[in-house]
Structure 1
Amino acid sequence: MDSKKYLDDISQIKDLMNRSSRFISLSGLSGILAGVYAITGASVAYFFLRPEPNEYITLHSWNFKVLVAILIAVAVLSFVTAYMLTTQKAKKNDEKIWDETTKRLLVNFFVPLVTGGIYILIKLTSQQYGLTASLMLIFYGLALVNASKYTIGNVKYLGYAQIILGLICAAFPGYGFWFWVVGFGILHIIYGSMMHLKERKA
């Protein structure tokens, strides 16, 4: 009896330590919606901005500016949705949304992401478009893996998948658009669905 109580106490202590060092309020639904936003944005770009044969999208063209606006809109919608749903989940579970763990999570996520964004912009100003989708997937994957140690769930596996997809994309640059759709759209929906089902069972 004493042995069982001792093991239960150890388990509770480990759980408390895990909660204090990891951000646990991430919402699976936000992942699903991020994937939906990405596929919607990609669909708009494909059907309305697709260049004609022998036509190139330059850095200063109207199509390029609209494409950048779509990417920014997808990113903003994804982050705002994640913030709203995560805040809602944290309040429901009586957890803090902003503490030192959250700060560490965001720093570790945004350092690779911002670095990658700046590098991609440098490449674009040099009229080098071929590896844009690949670089976006790789740096996003690195950001997820880097931040995964401050949260629970299988975020790191989503990061690994994005990195691998980005490397494959680099070998087939002509299909960058479709790799982007798979990485930011389909993989997000699959991962978010798995998290959402796990949350409902908990």
Structure 2
Amino acid sequence: MESKDYLKDLSEIKDLMNKSSRFISLSGLSGIMAGIYALIGATIAYWLVTTSVRGYLILDGKIFRLCLIILFLVALLSVITGIILTTRKAKKHNTKIWDATSKRLVINFLIPLIAGGLYILIMLSNEKYGQTGALMLIFYGLALVNASKYSIGDIRYLGYTEIILGLIAALMPGYGFWLWVLGFGIMHIVYGTWMHFKYDRSN
């Protein structure tokens, strides 16, 4: 009997240590919503491009600026939704939303993301547009993998998927838009649904 109690205590201690070193309040629904926002944004951008005078992507002028605005709005809505849903989940489980672990998560996520964003802006300023989609996928994937050690480990698998899709997009630039849709849209919905039923619904 004492042996069983000892093993139970060890299991509880391990669980507490895991919770204290990982931010586990991320909401699966936020991933689903991010994917939906990406699909809506991609649909609008595709419509703008295909209904333009030339019928294909114009990488300067009004249409390009509109596509950048759409991309920014998709990212902004995803972040706001993620904060709202994650905060709600944290309150439900009576856990802190902002502590040392969540700070490490944000820092490790932002370092590759900001570096990649700046690199993409430099490429765009030099009028090198062809690899933009691939670079977005790769650096976003790296950010997820880098942050996964401070959150639910499953996030790294989404990161690996984004990196692979980015490398494929680099090899096949003509399919960059559709791979972007697959990575930021569909894969987010698939991942968010998986996380929702694995973690959110079970708690």
Shorter-chain TM-score range: over 0.9
Q: Distance in 1 between matches of 2:127 and 2:135?
A: 15
**Per-residue deviation, 1:54:** 7.7
CA contact (8 A) 2:49 2:55 kept: no
Structural mapping, 1:30-179, within 5 Å: 30-50=30-50, 51-53=52-54, 57-59=58-60, 61-179=61-179
Q: Which residue of structure 1 aligns with residue 10 of structure 2?
A: 10
The residue type equivalent to 2:144 in the other structure is L
Q: Distance in 2 between matches of 1:38 and 1:58?
A: 20
* Cα separation, partners in 2 of 1:56 and 1:200, compared to 1, 3 Å: closer
The number of equivalent residue pairs is 201
1:104-131 deviations in Å (ceiling 9; x for gaps): 0000000000000000000001111110
Matched residue SS, 1:66: helix
Q: Distance in 1 between matches of 2:49 and 2:65?
A: 11
Q: Distance in 1 between matches of 2:65 and 2:143?
A: 26
Q: Scaled by the length of structure 2, what TM-score is found?
A: 0.96
The residue type equivalent to 2:21 in the other structure is S
CA contact (8 A) 1:153 1:195 kept: no
The residue type equivalent to 2:146 in the other structure is N
Q: Which residue of structure 2 aligns with residue 200 of structure 1?
A: 201
The residue type equivalent to 1:58 in the other structure is L
1:136-162 deviations in Å (ceiling 9; x for gaps): 000000000000000014000000000
**Per-residue deviation, 1:48:** 2.1
* Cα separation, partners in 2 of 1:25 and 1:171, compared to 1, 3 Å: same
**Per-residue deviation, 1:170:** 0.4
Which runs of 5 or more structure 1 residues have no equivalent in the other structure? none
What is the RMSD of the two structures over their aligned residues, measured on CA atoms? 1.2
**Per-residue deviation, 1:174:** 1.0
* Cα separation, partners in 2 of 1:31 and 1:91, compared to 1, 3 Å: same
